[in-house]
A and B are shown apart, each in its own frame.
Chain A
Amino acid sequence: MRIAIASGKGGTGKTTVAIHLYQYLSKLLDDQIQLIDCDVEEPNDLLFIPDAVNIYENTVFTMVPEIDTAQCTFCKKCSDWCEFNAITLVKNLEFAEINKDLCHSCGACSLACEFGAIREYKNPIGTISGYKTTFGTGITEGRLRIGSSMQTSLIRELKKQTASNTVLQILDAPPGTSCPVVETVSGAAYVILVTEPTPFGLYDLKLTVDLLNNLKIPFGVIVNKAGLGNNAVYAYLAANNIELIGEIPFSKEYAESYSKGALLNNVPEELENIYLKTAERLLEVTGIKK
């Protein structure tokens, strides 16, 4: 089973919520839980778990086509078929090129070409790495190659990486509401939206709520940094019948300890109880058995 953690934008503390849930759900679920960092442009879950040990790293490839100008008749059929404007052909200059950052590796151009002028080669789009942690079944991280626009393909691969003995996967989604977020949450049984109780937080939350309603994926909200801002977010949740899974209070001292990367080992007891309660509530609303 998969649960995704998303937020309308960056800076809501989604990462810290994700790694704490990973820790406390591990306690409740007998360590049979895996965390997958799907924020492939800026993965940072591991930054907070300095004792994680790398066990593998694989490069992920997509097939990218290339045009052989000696065979090409410049009929343009391939570029008519390419939905992503990745193919540039200029007959009078004998110029034929495929932009690998625009190409989505759909394979249409190879099918279109009747002159055998297109062949495909492997293009690296990023890496997937697995880490062992002292609790849970481990953390899997995807990291996009800089300049690549294949976030969605990398995330799709990432979702297939199930560590052994895992009953629950937590997917830490990228910020925002674009395609990589949709790819992360699709197929998830439940989505946790992390928000902060500020007007900006509420605005972004509404966008993500609309997205999930369209995708028909059940979700609930965790309010992070509770105590800051105002009460508008609670009014909104009540008015729209949205489940409030938990509230994580803002703690200045604790915020300082995670800027030092020293999280999880010195969680204040009060916060620990709140996270445990939140984790239990999450199991209740998703129907996962302990």
Chain B
Amino acid sequence: MKTIITSTGNNLQSVFDPRFGRAGWFCVYDRESNSTNFIENSFKNVNGGAGTKTSEMAAELGANQVISGDFGPKARTMLEKFKIQMVILEDEGLSVQDIIDRINKN
């Protein structure tokens, strides 16, 4: 199962990014292999369609779940179509590593 965590930077110490479409980076976390991979969100500064395009990116990466702080209406519609679960996390300044630790505790 692959989870995407929106991140402000490209490593595990980076702080969680509460925005989905405008997130700086995607951390793709694979629970089976316990591996992570950081991918830059090339759509974060586009004028329109960021939500749609980032959702497309999530689907192409084969994600089953996305953890972010907020999903806009366009992103929500697309992620539902792709059957990707949306998990909303409050922004408490957690690092990506903190969130992965939480996932593994559950």
Contact count A vs B, C-beta below 8 Å: 37
Tell me if B60 is interfacial: C-beta within 8 Å of chain A: yes
Residues of A within 8 A of B60 (CB): 90-92
Q: How far is the CA of A92 from the CA of B78 in the complex (A)?
A: 15
Whether A257 is near chain B, meaning CB under 8 Å from some CB there, is no
Is B56 touching A102 in the complex (CB atoms < 8 A)?
Answer: no
Q: Mark B30-51, 1 if CB is under 8 A from A, else 0.
A: 0000000000000100101110
Nearest-CB distance from B63 to chain A (Å)? 11
> Which of A84, A85, A93 has a CB less than 8 Å from the CB of B59?
A93
Indicate if the CB atoms of B49 and A85 lie closer than 8 Å: yes
B9 to chain A minimum Cβ distance, whole angstroms, is 24
Q: Given A85-B43, A95-B82, A99-B74, answer yes or no on A90-B49 (Cβ-Cβ < 8 Å).
A: no
- B10-63, CB < 8 A from A: 43, 46, 48-50, 52-53, 55-56, 59-60, 62
By the criterion CB–CB under 8 Å, are B48 and A102 in contact? yes
Within 8 A of A (CB), among B82-96: 82
Residues in A neighbouring B50, C-beta threshold 8 A: 85
A86 in contact with B49 (CB, 8 Å): yes
Instruction: Count A interface residues, CB 8 Å.
Output: 13
The answer, yes or no, to whether A211 is at the interface (CB within 8 Å) is: no
How far is B47's CA from A86's CA once the two chains are assembled, in angstroms? Answer: 11
Q: What is the CB-to-nearest-CB distance from A182 to chain B, in angstroms, rounded to a whole number?
A: 15
Binary flags per residue of A78-106, CB closer than 8 Å to B gives 1, else 0:
00000011101111110101010010000
Asked whether A88 lies within 8 Å of B56 as measured between CB atoms, the reply is: yes
CB distance from B30 to the nearest CB of A (A): 16
Determine if B49 and A84 form an interchain contact, defined as CB atoms under 8 angstroms apart.
yes
Q: How far is the CA of A137 from the CA of B46 in the complex (A)?
A: 44
Neighbour of B55 across the interface among A84, A88, A91, CB < 8 A:
A88
B102 at the interface (CB under 8 A from A): no
1/0 contact string of A99-119 vs chain B (CB within 8 Å)? 100100000000000000000
Q: B81 within 8 Å of A by Cβ?
A: yes
Check B56–A99 contact: CB distance below 8 A: no
Q: Decide: A93 near B82, CB < 8 A? Known: A84-B48, A85-B43, A102-B48.
A: yes
Contact present for A90 and B52 (CB under 8 Å): no
Q: Among the listed B48, B74, B82, which residue makes an inter-chain contact with A90, where contact means beta carbons less than 8 Å apart? A: B82
Provide a sorted-by-A list of 12 A–B residue pairs whose CB atoms are within 8 angstroms: A84-B49, A85-B48, A85-B50, A86-B49, A91-B60, A93-B59, A93-B82, A95-B82, A97-B81, A99-B49, A99-B52, A102-B48
Residues of A within 8 A of B (CB): 84-86, 88-93, 95, 97, 99, 102
